[in-house]
Chains A and B, each alone.
Chain A
Amino acid sequence: MLLGTDVTQVEAWRKLQEKLTAASVTDRSALLHRRANDTRSDVVRMIDHAGQGHIGGDFSVTDILTVLFNGVLRIDPNDPQKAGRDRFVLSKGHCAAALYATLASCGYFSPDELLTFMGPLSALNGHPNRNKVPGVETNTGPLGHGLPVAVGQALAAKLAGNGARVFAVMGDGEMQEGSNWEALMTGAHYGLDNLTAVVDRNRLQQGARTEDTSSLDPLDEKLLAFGWELRIIDGHDYEQLAAAFKPSSTGKPVAVIANTTKGKGVSFIEDRVEWHHKVPSTEQVVLALEELA
């Protein structure tokens, strides 16, 4: 493991957790929105510095990550390998920058590391590596890998009877990978009600809209037909996200279709296919940081 815990940052994260617990619904959403946009600002700076990255998908998944790591996942950034912890798998590994900024905000490692993103010998590779970055549970990058691993982790929690929950986030384009549908069958067959699969449904993939490439719809009917409890939400609404991440109510694994906007948070990046992995210019960086401030 190349990176270690940032104790000061963990303390800051803990204080935020206390605030969130005590806050009203409105205040909680405001706090999470601030946290999410700080993460987006980190991502802008990382991608600006590295000269590469996947800003569109980073921004669509940021609110999902923010809610998971602030009140949902039972984790301890001071003890990343703690037995019986909840697990998170970012199957859409190309959005590593958003994950790194989120993990750093929890204190898994120092936020000072973020600007090493994709630099020579950095722990922060373009796709996450569990042996280098604390908080990463499995190496991802090739699509369609995260959900089967999450199924295995959920099976392990069932066998151990430790009550651990497992969350995996897939891009919607990624649902074109057959391995996801194999894993969906296994999750339903074994009644993995401790498993939540989130689809970041921003409707864009690298080259075009999903529905113009290889149609996913009716995605809801497909997930239901595969035997999962389905929740369809606005993936940028913090209260809806928190509700969607509550445990299964049916004994089935939970699928969440989080309807999102690719590039969410910066007007000129939102919902534009070219921003899959476009890098903002110097002027655009300034504008983006202003919008996110």
Chain B
Amino acid sequence: MTCAIRMMGGQVMALVKSEELPVRIEQDVVMARQAVRRLSVELKFSLVDQTKMVTAASELARNTVVYGGGGTMRCEVLIDGGKSGLRLTFEDQGPGIPDMSLAMKDGWTSGGGMGMGLSGAKRLVNDFEIVSEVGKGTRVTITRWK
């Protein structure tokens, strides 16, 4: 656990708490969901917001395992001015995403899913950022503010 104050875009954003979890096997997806639930409860998110964040985390953690070949999830509790938020970063060193606009499309899947993972997760959060490089890996960052 670390505590830090960071300057972001000229604004002071405080990083209150940071945890990192391995996301390598299927059971880790369940652990990731539970960690996000616990932090969302600590942040006093509404039940709907908790559920949205946990569901988004589940989709992205599964992507990390299935498509990224395993990686990590970093959870950060942020305080920005008066509001608090939860930021999750999923990172893998997998094959990367060759066609980002295709991957972000509803209903498109390269695996056995429903193709709702990335596009669906994006709709469940306030901020969504994805960086992927073929052959290097993928990093998805989502934030939900209270």
Is the A/B pair a real complex? Answer: no
Residues of B participating in the A interface, judged by any CB pair closer than 8 Å: none
Residues of A participating in the B interface, judged by any CB pair closer than 8 Å: none
